[in-house]
Amino acid sequence: MIKLLIKNGIVIDARSNISEKLDVLIENGKIKKLSKKIPLKKDDDIEVIDAKGKWIIPGIVDMHAHTREPGGERSETIESASKAAAAGGVTSILAMPNTNPSTDSAEIIIKLIALAKKKAIINVFFSGAISAKREGLKLSAIKNMHRAGIKAITDDGSAIMDENLLHQALKLSKQLNMSLLEHCEDSHISAGGVLNKGKVSARLKVPSIAREAEIFIVLRDILAAAYIRAPLHIQHASCKESIELLRCAKKSGICVTAEVCPHHFMLTDEDAASLNTNFKMNPPLREKKDITALKKGLKDGTIDVIASDHAPHPKSEKKKSFIKAPFGIIGLETMLALVISELVLKKIISKKRMVELLCLNPATIMGLKSKGSLMPGMDADICIVDPLKKITVPRKFVSKSCNSPFIGRKLSGWPVLTIVSGKVVYRR
Ligand SMILES: [Zn+2]
């Protein structure tokens, strides 16, 4: 029997509303007991971890990650993404479907689940594409994929532009009690754009993406979800107006959840003015007023989840011009430190709210009943954090790619130990 005892750390759990010094006993991959002092018996064959001065939180559940496998193994694989995740305190990820081929059938989902079982050191869950080949034309085999084990449906990378198709997909997501995740971007509005439409894009004379591209789809989808009463989840919300629409929808009792990514509450389009392609992502970096709105939404409960949108790309691709380089940045390894540095240490959100946003809520949305909390009986997926540890983000990552806009930035609060199913998978 594998046993672990974590002693002297501050346990932070949103579900049980705990934030206090407790010992944690792990047996057979599960949380066995939380108590003020768990004594060590002489005959115990047990590994003891001293977590003095550290926070013990549930392993992070990142519901937005691109593992790039199959088809994009030059930038990342399921194995390398899982190692990057472990280094970031992330113990479960939801892989996005825009691989090559895309994950749009039960056959490919079954294959990938088996591959993840063999290669990944954390839990890798999969989303299924809403439309066949992610072409936005007809539904994929959603019911079969659901049977095969997908945790959500999305065409991430693109929105479902066809309203009829969206309605069909929402009806299925309601029937299967599985969230539909929408990448909110009206492609007619955003086509060709690379930077937020505003002062910076005008000054640099680069093609831009108007905020309406996001807002229109957020509004349309909220109305559709309200009409069908289906569980809708808005991915990577970046605009002030999206947050206001979400707040309004939630007040009216509409079943909608939403995520934001750290780069959207950390950086603005001014940061992208150097045209360094590590600042090119979709949705694009917005403006100060948007950061203010995102932080307000994180604080007041309008936003449910923080996700990384980990999007690795090889150097050769990101070396291209700002217009030609692909969208996306990596994020698994820096997400927790960004959240602690920018939100927790600056007292915008509490430690418990951090755990709700990073662990409990994403687990709930994905239907992972035994994850996201440290209550006895839950899976022993744990992240031990040193809140005072300061590290300057290096050029080299555990991920196969290094396209991060945070290289060189000094951040506080890093994971020092990651446990998955009671097994230590990462030590800093
Ligand atoms: Zn997306």
Q: Is the dihedral of CA 330, 334, 335, 339 positive or negative?
A: negative
How close is the Cα of 344 to the center of ligand 1, in Å?
26
Whether residue 326 has a cis bond before it, omega within 30° of 0: no
How close is the Cα of 59 to the center of ligand 1, in Å?
23
Q: Check residue 1 and give its pLDDT.
A: 61
Nearest to 399 by CA among 288, 276, 308: 308
The model carries a pTM of 0.98
Helix (H, G, I), strand (E, B) or coil at 259: strand
Digit-coded pLDDT (tens) for 161-209: 999 999 999 999 999 999 999 999 999 999 999 999 999 999 999 999 9
Digit-coded pLDDT (tens) for 365-380: 999 999 999 999 999 9
Tens-digit pLDDT string for the chain (428 aa): 679 999 999 999 999 999 999 999 999 999 999 999 999 887 778 999 999 999 999 999 999 999 999 999 999 999 999 999 999 999 999 999 999 999 999 999 999 999 999 999 999 999 999 999 999 999 999 999 999 999 999 999 999 999 999 999 999 999 999 999 999 999 999 999 999 999 999 999 999 999 999 999 999 999 999 999 999 999 999 999 999 999 999 999 999 999 999 999 999 999 999 999 999 999 999 999 999 999 999 999 999 999 999 999 999 999 999 999 999 999 999 999 999 999 999 999 999 999 999 999 999 999 999 999 999 999 999 999 999 999 999 999 999 999 999 999 999 999 999 999 999 999 99
How close is the Cα of 201 to the center of ligand 1, in Å?
21
Which pair of tokens denotes residue 62? 């990142």
Task: Please list the active-site residues.
Answer: 309
Helix (H, G, I), strand (E, B) or coil at 136: coil
How close is the Cα of 261 to the center of ligand 1, in Å?
11
Read off the DSSP letter of residue 276.
-
How close is the Cα of 260 to the center of ligand 1, in Å?
11
In 161-301, alpha helices (H):
163-176, 187-190, 199-204, 212-228, 240-251, 262-266, 288-300
How close is the Cα of 134 to the center of ligand 1, in Å?
13
How close is the Cα of 158 to the center of ligand 1, in Å?
7
C-alpha dist (Å) from residue 53 to 62, 354, 388? 25, 18, 9
Q: Label the pairing between strands 123-128 and 90-95.
A: parallel
How close is the Cα of 328 to the center of ligand 1, in Å?
9
Q: Label the pairing between strands 382-392 and 55-58.
A: antiparallel
Digit-coded pLDDT (tens) for 382-414: 999 999 999 999 999 999 999 999 999 999 999
As a whole number of angstroms, the distance between CA 144 and CA 222 comes to: 26
